[in-house]
């Protein structure tokens, strides 16, 4: 008891160096060897029973969390090759970005404040047709991964083209991702139409299924209004056959709802239900305009929903009924969408927007409170993606996907409530350290797996060509 | 011509070092001596005629802008004691935060996600009654100024208590502010009621009027629902008599509208009009619920409006009708409100929210475009505050209140449109350098006028006492 007491006191008063010291002093007393110990003033766990551990630490072995406790207890029981200190830090699960088209960062700021048709038909579609090739996806994906690591995202969903290239970049940079090639009923980069696009996405699933513990391949029919009922059925059958997730854009705009109603005499979610499409392997992006029976249906079928507030507002799609969906018990995560409609892959913006806008639409300041939003950005996203047996919380047995957020900038002073600060005050640039699968990808904001100067140079070079075509006057 | 040509070429290819070099080489050729030259890859001016100057620079003398041009032309005509380089930088007017209760940063995160009455009656009012004294305002104001400088705010409006203390802090840290003591018809920190609070605020105006070029004292009756018609008239008469601005909370909630309607048989803006209160020296915070004739009235009377989107959403006040107010030609600026209802004094959040939420409420993706929002955050705010003859743009004759924003982080790559990046992608932590009245307050994110460690220590000490009273379980 005395040893524990002394150790605790030292930790509180002198921080990390003394932790290492106490670790060293006690290292002969039968401690278990682990790969990494991470300490922090606060550990935000996402476990209801103990949401915040003060002066906490976790031990990591083989990429997994093997112990979560107070610093003194962890130090008394484990010996690590490396210990990350956590003075003035919060340790929490890495953020889960449930919807993105990552390589589109190369179109960031190319076209804003335009009517949807103008934006799509005169900028995005022609730019994709002309510029999206393997090199574009490689460089775009690298830039996106760099940005996401800097902002504390540890898992993301990538729905785009050239999936093998994207998977290789994700493998190299150390992030975790669900990767899928978007399949659509009209020509898209590299494809004539549905048949070859879908075949390629199934081939990708076959190649990558169970190949890399950090990469999950998936199926992604674009949306009910761009994919025929027959093709939607083909897609969900493939997802079930290969036992992989399926993601789709759903009920994003009022136009889509009217269009689907006219064509199929059903609203979008009901249309998918009529096709036998809805089940727990499906997670849908946006879902801005479900009616109340559709909300009940999504809950009943266990479909995940990814809320993308930045994109829904920028494209004027509207405000998703998140309070009603939460009440119905739907698994809800957050996403950034692609940078052409956001314009950043910044989960902290999505967190803050989610905590704010639904108070505005309901005129209820207690709507969607901070801890609910933080759960959506981590465990809720993991549940929606079908990954909550691996990630989303700080819990023994889960993968060590973690971030440390430092509390030193003035906008995080003073401190009454760490959850409040994470939701209402923190920025992407407050993230100090990022760990995925036990591997440190960023520490003290130094990037460890990404070649910044090469990406910067190659991204600028691609952008110069796009600029010459689309913004010649610049 | 040859000299100019060589100089330009060097600037474009090699940046700042060569600029200094060319400056040195030509220093004997009859150049005008200035205090400071600031260069940047892009200068965003807020002048319609030339909104963005590529490879631009400005010359500063006696705290004022004396020249704005391309780098080669500035370097050919001016010689400075100090030159700030601007590779990968945007130079723009400093941000104008049109509404805050700055020292309330010491309550940041104390109480969130609560019903308005619970929040006010059980946390904010009792915490203010017990803890707001001169030391609280000194430390809180210092922390607020530190946070605002870090985020590129160069002018702010402070409506709180202990105005002399606030003014001293602003004087010392180098920011520009309109400072005013809030006067209200019931007891407030240090005051029994309206009479002594208002007398103190008038005394402050007398003491500080024309005393410091960076500090403008003002009058601030709290709101139509907390100040009687007689006292409102007293306030506007004093503002006119001493020729100072007047600011007030106005039409913030639907409850206020109903309350004023019941008591005075008029909606809030009409109520002020009936009292002869409205004129161009008045700027009103919030204005979430004006009807269309009130919007026309605000435009007609030249009243400024400060939009506080973060606070309006967090407190569930609603969405201010900014598109309609812009259309009516009202002078509109942006504000953060106090940190108890935001929770950060971060103008970049306010900028991004303003660009997003009104697209959502109107379902129009062209509503409130990026350049309109950036104008609101700078020149629009200056106009609303009655300071546009001094600040808000980069223009010869205006004060040198400027910021440099660096474009090196991945969320600002690649670059097609600098205005888009500033509105939709940049964060407070992208601000590199802050200059007010020609004085550099932050450079390369190093704070030059604020004692960080002392503020951190004193803020924590005050917060410990507040925590013991209001969150004893923490």
Q: Which ipTM did the prediction report?
A: 0.93
- Binding-face residues of B in 173-232 toward A, CB within 8 A: none
Q: Mean pLDDT over residues A236-242, rounded? A: 98
Nearest CA in chain A to B143: A410
pLDDT at B407: 96
- Residue B288 at interface with chain A, using a CB cutoff of 8 Å: no
CB contact under 8 A, B462 and A364: no
B396-421: per-residue pLDDT in tens? Answer: 999 999 999 999 999 999 999 999 99
Out of B112, B313, B345, name the one closest to residue A360 (CB).
B313
One domain, residues A345 and A365: yes
Residue A24's pLDDT band (boundaries 50, 70, 90)? very low
Q: What is the pLDDT of residue A150?
A: 98
Across the interface, whether the CB atoms of A411 and B147 are under 8 A apart is answered yes
Beta bridge partners of A43: A53, A91
Contacts of A111 (CB under 8 A, 6+ apart): A119, A122, A123, A124, A340, A470
Residue B347, number of CB atoms within 10 A of its CB: 27
Q: How much of chain A is helix, strand and coil, in % rounded to 5?
A: 45, 25, 30
10 Å CB burial of residue A127 (0-12, 13-18, 19+) is buried
The residue from B384, B407, B429 where one domain ends is B384
Number of structural domains found in chain B:
2
Q: Which residue has the higher pLDDT, B436 or A22?
A: B436
Q: Map tokens 């160069």 to a residue.
A: B154
A122 in B contact zone (CB under 8 Å): no
Residue B2, pLDDT above cutoff 50: no
- Residue corresponding to tokens 């190649």: A207
For the segment A388-396, the average pLDDT, to the nearest whole number, is 98
Judge: A112–B370 Cβ closer than 8 Å, yes or no: yes
Cβ neighbours of B114 in A, within 8 Å = 365-366
Most A CBs within 10 Å, among B414, B461, B472, B474, to test the A interface: B414
Q: What pLDDT, in 10s, does the model give residues B277-310?
A: 999 999 999 999 999 999 999 999 999 999 999 9
Instruction: Indicate if A151 and A123 belong to the same structural domain.
Output: yes
Question: Minimal CA–CA distance to B10: which of B121, B85, B79, B81?
Answer: B85
Is there a domain that residue A20 lies in? yes
Say yes or no to pLDDT of B319 above 50: yes
Using the beta-carbon criterion (under 8 Å), do A114 and B424 form an inter-chain contact?
A: no
Q: Is B183 found in the same domain as B123?
A: yes
Q: What percent of chain A has pLDDT over 70?
A: 93
Question: Average pLDDT of chain B?
Answer: 93
Query: Helix or strand or coil: residue A20?
Result: helix
pLDDT score, position B23: 41
Whether A155 and A258 map to the same domain: the answer is yes
Span B253-278, mean pLDDT?
98
For residue A451, the chain B residue with the least C-alpha distance is B410
CB of A425 within 8 Å of a chain B CB? The answer is: yes
Candidates A233, A203, A204; CA nearest to A221 is A233
Pick from B314, B345, B474: CB nearest A356: B314
**Domain containing B331: what range?**
95-384
At A149, which helix (H) or strand (E)? helix A134-150
Confirm whether B11 is domain-assigned.
Answer: yes
Residues A322 and A358 in one domain: yes
**Residues B165 and B208 sit within 8 Å (Cβ to Cβ):** no
pLDDT surpasses 70 at B25:
no
Same domain, A207 and A101: yes
pLDDT (0 to 100) of residue B4:
33
pLDDT of residue A117: 85
A416 to B471: CB separation less than 8 angstroms, yes or no:
yes
Question: Which of chain B's residues have a Cβ under 8 Å away from the Cβ of A456?
Answer: 413
Average pLDDT over residues B431-453: 98
Say yes or no to pLDDT of B383 above 80. yes
Helix axes B194-208, B229-242, angle to 10 degrees: 10
Find the CB nearest B316 among A150, A310, A363.
A363
Last residue of a domain, one of B384, B416, B433: B384
Is the residue at B459 inside a domain?
Answer: no
H-only helix segments in A309-431: 309-314, 322-327, 347-362, 370-375, 381-384, 418-420
**A414 upstream amide cis, omega within 30 of 0:** yes
Using one digit for the tens of pLDDT, what is the confidence trace for B80-126?
999 999 999 999 999 999 999 999 999 999 999 998 888 988 999 99
Q: Do the beta carbons of residue A163 and residue A134 sit within 8 Å? A: no
pLDDT score at B116? 83
A324 touches chain B (CB under 8 A): no
Domain-located, residue A461: no
If pLDDT is split at 50, 70 and 90, which confidence band does B211 have? Answer: very high
The two tokens of residue A463 are: 């952008």
Q: What is the pLDDT of residue B115?
A: 87
Decide which of B333, B365, B384 is a domain's last residue. B384
Q: Which residues of B touch A317 (CB under 8 A)?
A: 360, 363
Report yes or no on A469 lying in a domain.
no
Whether residue A249 is annotated as binding a ligand: the answer is yes
B127 and chain A in contact, CB less than 8 A: no
SS3 content of chain B, % helix, strand, coil (to 5): 45, 25, 30
DSSP state of A421: I
Count of alpha carbons within 13 Å of A92, Cβ hemisphere only?
28
* The pLDDT value given to residue A287: 98
Phi, psi dihedrals of residue A131, rounded to the nearest 5°: -110, -20
What is A228-280 written as a DSSP string?
-HHHHHHHHHHHHHHT--EEEEES-SHHHHHHHHHHHSS-HHHHHHHTT--ST
Q: What is the CATH number of the domain that holds B284?
A: 3.20.20.140
pLDDT class for A19, splitting at 50, 70, 90?
very low
Q: Are B352 and B158 in contact (CB under 8 A)?
A: no
Using a CB-CB cut-off of 8 Å, the residues of chain A touching B416 are: 108-110, 463, 466-467, 471, 474
Size of interface A-B (CB pairs under 8 A): 212
Question: What was the pLDDT predicted at B474?
Answer: 56
Residue B154 is inside which H or E element, if any? Answer: strand B153-160
Which position has the higher pLDDT, B472 or B319?
A: B319
**pLDDT surpassing 90 at residue A17:** no
Q: What angle do CA B64, B332, B67 make, to 5 degrees?
A: 20
Nearest CA in chain A to B427: A427
What pLDDT does residue A10 have? Answer: 34
Residue B435 and residue B379 in one domain: no
CB contact burial B60-82 (16+ within 10 A = b; e otherwise): bbebbbbbbbbbbbbbbbbbbee
Residue B53's pLDDT band, with cuts at 50, 70 and 90, is very high
| pLDDT for residue A68 is more than 50 | yes
Residue A84 shares a structural domain with residue A103: no
| Residue B165 shares a structural domain with residue B244 | yes
Beta bridge partners of B67: B59
Angle value at C-alpha A26, between A25 and A31, nearest 5 degrees: 145
Instruction: Kindly state whether residues B378 and B403 are assigned to the same domain.
Output: no
Across the interface, of B316, B410, B463, the residue whose CB is closest to A359 is: B316
Residue B101 counted as an annotated binding residue: yes
pLDDT of A111 above 70: yes
Chain B residue numbers touching A360 (CB-CB < 8 A): 312-313, 316-319, 357
| Interacting residues of B242 by C-beta distance below 8 A, sequence separation 6+ | B202, B205, B206, B209, B219
Cα–Cα distance between A286 and B239 in angstroms, integer?
Answer: 50
The answer to whether B366 faces chain A, any CB pair under 8 Å, is yes
Enumerate the residues of chain A whose CB falls inside 8 A of the CB of residue B314. 355-356, 359, 365, 424
Q: Is residue B450 part of a domain?
A: no
**Long-range contacts (CB closer than 8 Å, 24 or more residues apart) made by A12-20:** A12/A55, A15/A85, A15/A87, A16/A83, A16/A85, A16/A86, A16/A87, A17/A85, A19/A71, A19/A75, A19/A83, A19/A85, A20/A83
Find the helix or strand (DSSP H, E) in which B232 lies: helix B229-242
Please state, in angstroms and rounded to a whole number, the distance separating the CA atoms of residues B69 and B89. Answer: 16
pLDDT at position B120 is: 87
H/E/C letters for each residue in A54-66?
Answer: EEEEEEEECCEEE
Does residue A405 sit within a domain?
A: yes
- Nearest CB to B463: which of A349, A416, A460? A416
Please say whether the beta carbons of B382 and B390 come within 8 A.
Answer: yes
- Is A99 one of the annotated binding-site residues? yes
Buried b (16+ CB within 10 A) or exposed e, B13-23: eebbebbbebb
Whether a cis peptide bond, with omega within 30° of 0, leads into A343 is yes
Residue A182 pLDDT: 95
Name residue, tokens 């290789």.
A168
Measure in Å the smallest separation between the Cα of B118 and chain A Cα atoms. 11
Q: Are both B76 and B112 inside the same structural domain?
A: no
B109 interface with A at CB cutoff 8 Å: yes
Give yes or no for residue A13 having a pLDDT over 50: no
From B106, which residue of chain A is nearest by alpha-carbon distance?
A: A414
Q: What are residue A426's phi and psi, to 5 degrees? A: -75, 150
Element spanning B37, H or E: strand B32-44
**What is the CB neighbour count within 10 angstroms for residue A61?**
17
CA dist B314 and A424 (Å) reads 9
Spatial CA neighbour of B374 closest among B44, B55, B68: B44
Is B118 annotated to bind a ligand? Reply is: no
Dihedral-angle region of residue B364 (phi above 0 means left; psi in -120 to 50 means alpha; beta otherwise):
beta
Q: Compute the Cα dihedral for A227, A229, A232, A238 and give only its sign.
A: negative
CATH number at residue B41: 2.30.40.10
Mean model confidence pLDDT for chain A:
93
Query: For residue B261, with 0-12 CB atoms within 10 Å meaning exposed, 13-18 middle and 19 or more buried, which class applies?
Result: middle
A110 CB neighbours in chain B (<8 A) are 416-417
Residue A458 lies in a domain: no
Q: Name the token pair of B464.
A: 């410990």
Q: What are the φ/ψ torsions at residue B98 (nearest 5 degrees)?
A: -80, -5
- Nearest-angstrom CA–CA distance, A267 and A256: 9
pLDDT value of residue A120: 87
Q: Which residue has the tokens 């992030």?
A: A175
Give the residue on B whose Cα is nearest the Cα of A470.
B416
Phi, psi of A299 (to 5 degrees): -65, -45
Residue contact B365–A312, C-beta within 8 A: no
pLDDT at position A29: 65
CA distance B98 to chain A (A): 18
A104 and A81 both lie in a single domain: no
| Closest chain A residue by Cα to residue B450 | A410
pLDDT for B178-210, tens place per residue? Answer: 999 999 999 999 999 999 999 999 999 999 999
**With bands split at pLDDT 50, 70 and 90, how would you rate the model's confidence at A474?**
low
Residue B7 clears pLDDT 80, i.e. is over it: no
A416 touches chain B (CB under 8 A): yes
What is the pLDDT averaged over residues A281-289?
98
Look at residue A403 in the predicted model and tell me its pLDDT. 98
Contact: B113, A366; criterion CB under 8 Å: yes
Taking only Cα atoms into account, the Rg of chain A, rounded to an integer number of angstroms, comes to 23
Mean pLDDT for the stretch of residues B207-222:
98
**Which residues of chain B neighbour A346 with C-beta distances below 8 Å?**
411
What pLDDT, on a 0 to 100 scale, did the predictor assign at position A115?
87
Residues of B with Cβ-Cβ distance to A414 under 8 angstroms: 106, 108, 459-460, 462-463
Percent of chain B predicted with pLDDT > 70: 93
Ramachandran region of residue B116, left (φ > 0), alpha (ψ -120 to 50) or beta?
Answer: alpha
Whether residue B387 has pLDDT greater than 80: yes
């Amino acid at each position: 008891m005395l040893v524990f007491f002394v150790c605790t006191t030292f930790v509180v008063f002198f921080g990390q160096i003394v932790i290492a010291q106490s670790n060293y002093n006690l290292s002969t007393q039968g401690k278990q060897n682990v790969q990494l110990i991470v300490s922090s003033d606060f550990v935000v766990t996402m476990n209801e029973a103990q949401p915040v551990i003060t002066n906490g630490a976790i031990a990591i072995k083989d990429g997994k969390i093997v112990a979560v406790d107070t610093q003194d207890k962890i130090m008394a029981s484990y010996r690590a090759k490396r210990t990350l200190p956590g003075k003035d830090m919060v340790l929490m699960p890495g953020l889960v970005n449930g919807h993105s088209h990552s390589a589109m960062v190369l179109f960031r700021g190319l076209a804003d404040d335009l009517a949807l048709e103008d934006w799509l038909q005169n900028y995005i579609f022609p730019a994709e047709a002309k510029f999206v090739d393997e090199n574009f996806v490689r460089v775009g994906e690298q830039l996106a991964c760099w940005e996401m690591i800097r902002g504390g995202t540890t898992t993301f969903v990538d729905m785009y083209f050239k999936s093998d290239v994207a998977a290789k970049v994700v493998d190299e940079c150390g992030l975790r991702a669900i990767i899928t090639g978007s399949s659509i009923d009209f020509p898209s980069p590299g494809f004539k139409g549905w048949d070859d696009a879908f075949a390629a996405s199934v081939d990708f699933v076959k190649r990558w299924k169970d190949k890399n513990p950090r990469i999950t391949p998936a199926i992604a029919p674009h949306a009910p209004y761009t994919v025929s009922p027959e093709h939607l059925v083909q897609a969900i059958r493939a997802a079930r056959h290969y036992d992989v997730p399926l993601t789709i854009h759903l009920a994003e705009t009022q136009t889509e709802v009217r269009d689907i109603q006219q064509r199929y005499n059903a609203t979008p979610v009901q249309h998918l239900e009529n096709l036998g499409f809805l089940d727990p392997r499906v997670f849908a992006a946006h879902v801005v305009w479900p009616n109340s029976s559709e909300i009940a249906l999504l809950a009943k079928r266990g479909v995940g929903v990814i809320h993308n507030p930045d994109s829904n507002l920028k494209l004027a799609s509207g405000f998703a009924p998140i309070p009603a969906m939460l009440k119905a018990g739907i698994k809800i995560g957050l996403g950034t969408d692609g940078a052409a409609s956001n314009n950043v892959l910044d989960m902290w913006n999505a967190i803050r927007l989610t905590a704010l806008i639904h108070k505005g639409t309901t005129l209820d300041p207690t709507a969607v409170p901070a801890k609910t939003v933080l759960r959506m950005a981590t465990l809720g996203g993991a549940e929606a993606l079908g990954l909550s047996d691996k990630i989303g919380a700080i819990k023994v047995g889960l993968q060590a996907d973690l971030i440390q957020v430092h509390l030193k900038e003035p906008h995080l002073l003073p401190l009454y409530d760490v959850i409040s600060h994470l939701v209402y005050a923190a920025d992407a640039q407050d993230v100090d350290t990022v760990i995925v699968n036990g591997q440190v990808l960023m520490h003290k904001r130094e990037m460890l797996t990404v070649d910044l100067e090469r990406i910067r140079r190659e991204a600028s070079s691609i952008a110069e060509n796009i600029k010459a075509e689309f913004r010649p006057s610049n």
